């Protein structure tokens, strides 16, 4: 099954979601922004045979995860904040912003829309 993975990278943790090609959320979880967290995320998503990871911030907070995934043969894409801008505005309910943002990352990565290859 073709899936994409969206990552909302923060200084101390990453929120991660796996999205099917038709937009269904398959899994969502958080891991610490550490090498151990990178491994846990990779291993958990490996159960779904993920096709691509979309990460906002591959040059900042997401850099370590992007490099780890790339070194393990996983396609990683930078998802510019401008791609998710309209989704952030639509997520008006408190507490739903990150979920909407992550889902957008996953769907955009799946479709190859507005993403820039970062690590190959």
8 Å CB contact between 64 and 73: no
pLDDT in tens, 62-106: 999 999 999 998 888 887 776 666 656 665 555 555 655 665 666
CATH of the domain at 24: 3.30.420.10
**In terms of residue numbers, what domain contains 82?**
3-119
Cα–Cα dist 87/32, whole Å:
25
pLDDT in tens, 22-63: 778 888 899 999 999 999 999 999 888 767 888 888 888 999
* Side-chain-facing half-sphere of 107: CA atoms under 13 Å: 13
Claim: this prediction has a pTM higher than 0.95: no
Q: Count how many domains the chain has.
A: 1
Q: In the 8-state DSSP scheme, what is residue 60?
A: T
Residue 111 phi, psi dihedral angles, 5° rounding: -85, -15
Q: How far is CA 104 from CA 12, 36, 40, 80, 116, in A?
A: 22, 26, 22, 11, 15
């Amino acid at each position: 099954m073709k899936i994409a993975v969206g990552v909302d990278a923060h200084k101390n943790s990453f929120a991660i979601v796996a999205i099917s090609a038709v937009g269904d959320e398959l899994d969502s979880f958080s891991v610490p922004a550490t090498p151990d967290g990178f491994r846990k995320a990779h291993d958990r998503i490996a159960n779904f045979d993920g096709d691509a990871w979309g990460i906002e911030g591959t040059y900042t907070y997401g850099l370590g995860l992007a490099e780890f995934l790339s070194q393990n043969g996983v396609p990683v894409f930078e998802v510019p904040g401008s791609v998710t801008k309209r989704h952030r505005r639509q997520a008006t309910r408190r507490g739903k912003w990150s979920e909407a943002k992550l889902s957008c990352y996953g769907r955009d990565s799946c479709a190859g829309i507005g993403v820039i290859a970062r690590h190959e």
